Amino acid sequence: QVQLVDSGGGVVRIGGSLRLSCAASGRTFPTRAMGWFRQAPGKEREFVAAINWNGSVTLYSDSVKGRFTISRDNDNKNAVYLQMTMLKPEDTAIYYCATGTTLRAPTNEAWDYDYWGQGTQVTVSS
């Protein structure tokens, strides 16, 4: 069983930065790929970024490429991070981290992920 706890959301000005964290429990965390998704009001959940089991391969949506960076710490904290820079109003959403039971490679398909965090709200305002 894996439990994911998202944190780090908040209110930020346009052009600002935030760093989201996802703390994972379970011994198999270092073997699993991880992803971040987001859902804005009235919209479907969409893929943001993903990282493979050892951090050597990353995948980003076109909308965040060059602005967001996904990383992970397998050694000390069993955590995955999403560094967000140059934030825009359209980045406003609830952000969720996720992982899959046998997932080792990053994927942008939500159905590949079995476990989800509770979400953390990011609001970008002027």
pLDDT digits (tens, 9 = 90+) for 9-18: 999 999 999 9
Tokens of 77: 């904290």
pLDDT digits (tens, 9 = 90+) for 55-80: 999 999 999 999 999 999 988 778 99
What was the pLDDT predicted at 28?
74
Return the biggest CA–CA distance within the chain.
42
What was the pLDDT predicted at 112?
93
pLDDT greater at residue 24 or residue 12: 12
Q: 111 pairs with which residues across the strands?
A: none
Categorize the per-residue pLDDT at 120 as very low, low, confident or very high, splitting at 50, 70 and 90: very high
Q: How many CB atoms lie within 10 A of CB 102?
A: 10
